[in-house]
């Protein structure tokens, strides 16, 4: 059970796989996380700006392309198949089927916490085992490398949910980064590709993720659960940029809200 749980806690705390790895980041602040979860800002609010849906469009397009290749050609597209075979030579990626992802849920800590999420891609082998992939539209930069523990936790959370809900053995996890091809405009291939029509390309790169013990996932959930179980915000990270920005913003607008 959590070490610090408010007596007035009545609502179930919901966590997503994309959240549980946040404590692994260098700049994680318990106080900022508490405020973000307790007082979420909706998509449409007075301070919002219109955002292009290119990321969600790209995400859907990738999944549709993979699905189409398996349905029509009975195999994964070469750009992902070859990388999977290179990193996992012991797995038969030539004979697979895709599993339609659904939302899985697991109740934790006597029903006071709910872990809920849906994987991007699920590959099933002939023996019934699964391989889970998560797609990221991002360049493989130093900043992205710092997020790797966070993404690893996300994939392991999907594996945890699949095992708890369906008792499925997970034999592998991987990230696939889609790095936009925009850095070298002197490239003749890009020059040709953009001559008559504007084709914007991506370079897919597969990064294996180490499967972790289920207790590791539960411990991450418990860390966040303990933070959110409090009725008051916890102590923030020392010299946290987020905390400082929030305090500065409140100081500036405080007199106008009275």
Q: Is the pLDDT of residue 82 over 80?
A: yes
Chain segment 183-240, per-residue pLDDT in tens:
666 777 777 777 788 878 889 999 999 999 999 999 999 999 999 999 999 999 999 9
State the average pLDDT over residues 97-106.
96
What is the per-residue pLDDT for 133? 98
What pairing do the DSSP bridges indicate for beta strands 130-136 and 170-180?
A: parallel
What is the pLDDT confidence band of residue 14, given thresholds at 50, 70 and 90? Answer: very high
Q: What is residue 22's DSSP assignment? A: G
| Annotated domain spans of the chain | 74-101+117-220
Beta bridge partners of 136: 177
In this model, does residue 2 exceed pLDDT 50?
Answer: no
CA distances from 79 to 115, 173, 193, 194, 206 (A): 33, 17, 18, 21, 10
The closest of 146, 156, 173 to 87, measured between CA atoms, is 173
State pLDDT tens for residues 129-170: 999 999 999 888 888 889 999 999 999 999 999 999 999 999
Rounded Cα–Cα distance for residues 225 and 232 (Å): 13
**Burial of 4: CB neighbours in 10 Å, binned 0-12, 13-18, 19+:** exposed
């Amino acid at each position: 059970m959590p070490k610090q749980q408010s007596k007035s806690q009545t609502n179930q705390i919901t966590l997503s796989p994309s959240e549980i790895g946040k404590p692994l980041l260098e700049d994680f602040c318990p106080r900022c996380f508490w405020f973000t979860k307790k007082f979420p800002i909706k998509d449409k609010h007075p301070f919002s700006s219109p955002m292009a849906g290119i990321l969600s469009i790209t995400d859907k397009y990738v999944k549709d392309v993979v699905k189409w290749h398996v349905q029509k050609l009975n195999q994964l597209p070469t750009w992902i198949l070859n990388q999977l075979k290179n990193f996992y030579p012991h797995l038969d990626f030539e004979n697979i089927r895709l599993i339609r992802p659904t939302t899985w849920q697991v109740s934790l800590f006597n029903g006071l916490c709910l872990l809920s999420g849906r994987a991007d891609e699920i590959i099933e082998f002939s023996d019934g085992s699964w391989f889970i992939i998560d797609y990221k539209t991002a360049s493989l930069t130093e900043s992205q490398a710092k997020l790797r523990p966070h993404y690893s936790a996300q994939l392991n959370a999907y594996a945890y949910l699949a095992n708890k809900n369906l008792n499925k053995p997970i034999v592998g996890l991987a990230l696939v980064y889609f790095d936009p091809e925009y850095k070298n405009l002197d490239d003749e291939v890009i020059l040709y590709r953009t001559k008559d029509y504007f084709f914007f390309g991506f370079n897919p790169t597969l990064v294996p993720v180490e499967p972790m013990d289920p207790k590791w996932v539960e411990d991450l959930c418990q860390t966040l659960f303990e933070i959110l179980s409090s009725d008051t915000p916890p102590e923030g990270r020392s010299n946290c940029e987020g905390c400082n920005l929030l305090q500065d913003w409140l100081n500036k607008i405080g007199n106008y809200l009275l």
